[in-house]
Amino acid sequence: MTELGQLERHHEDFTRRHVRVIVVSVEDTEDAAKTQADFPHLTVVADAGHGLSEAAGVLHPHSGPDDSDTSAPTIFLIDGHGTVRWLYRSRAADIRLSPDDMLESIDAHLAE
């Protein structure tokens, strides 16, 4: 979860680009509230019902510590019209984009 700390730290860079960062996991509102408290500038979604994760097709079966399904780390860049402009998934869960990479992708794909 540590990458959320990086996103939080760079929140002004996202705000400057008129981009809000919504972070999603399949946890319940109790855990999501803790995450929200830790990262107040991000918008935290409690997708315990999988409504968003299933729609996005990111559920990763048996990937949780208790063999449960969790979201495969994936990033979608969506413009103000609701159109997907870019998506990213790394080849391994421990390889994550840096905030700088994400900001570069925003500049590249939303400026088009």
Partner 1 sequence: MTSTPAIAARRTAGRFLAAFGLATAALGVCAYIVQMVARALFLPWYLPSQATGTLAAVLLLVALWRRATAWRVVAAFGVFAYLTQLLADGVFAPLYLAASGTLAALLLVAALWRRFTPWRMVALLPVVLLATGEWVMTGESTIAYLQSVRFYPPDRPGLRLPAYTGPVLVGESFPEFATTLSNGTPLTQRDLQGEQDTELVFFRGRW
Residues 17-46 close enough to bind partner 1 by CB under 8 A: 17-27, 29, 31-36, 43-46
- In the chain, what's the furthest Cα-to-Cα distance? 43
User: Does residue number 12 form part of the binding site for partner 1 (CB under 8 A)?
Assistant: no
User: Does residue number 95 form part of the binding site for partner 1 (CB under 8 A)?
Assistant: yes
Q: Nearer to partner 1 by C-beta: 12 or 57?
A: 57
What x/- string results for residues 44 through 83 when contact with partner 1 is judged by CB under 8 A?
xxxx-x-xxxxxxxx-x-xxxx-x--xxxxxxxxxxxxxx
Measured distance CA(53)–CA(61) in Å, rounded: 12
Residue with tokens 């860079």: 13
Measured distance CA(72)–CA(2) in Å, rounded: 15
Closest distance to partner 1 from the beta carbon of 30 (Å) = 9
Task: Check if the beta carbon of residue 110 is closer than 8 Å to that of residue 77.
Answer: yes
User: Does residue number 89 form part of the binding site for partner 1 (CB under 8 A)?
Assistant: yes
Measured distance CA(106)–CA(99) in Å, rounded: 10
3-state secondary structure of 41: coil
User: Does residue number 11 form part of the binding site for partner 1 (CB under 8 A)?
Assistant: no
User: Does residue number 92 form part of the binding site for partner 1 (CB under 8 A)?
Assistant: yes
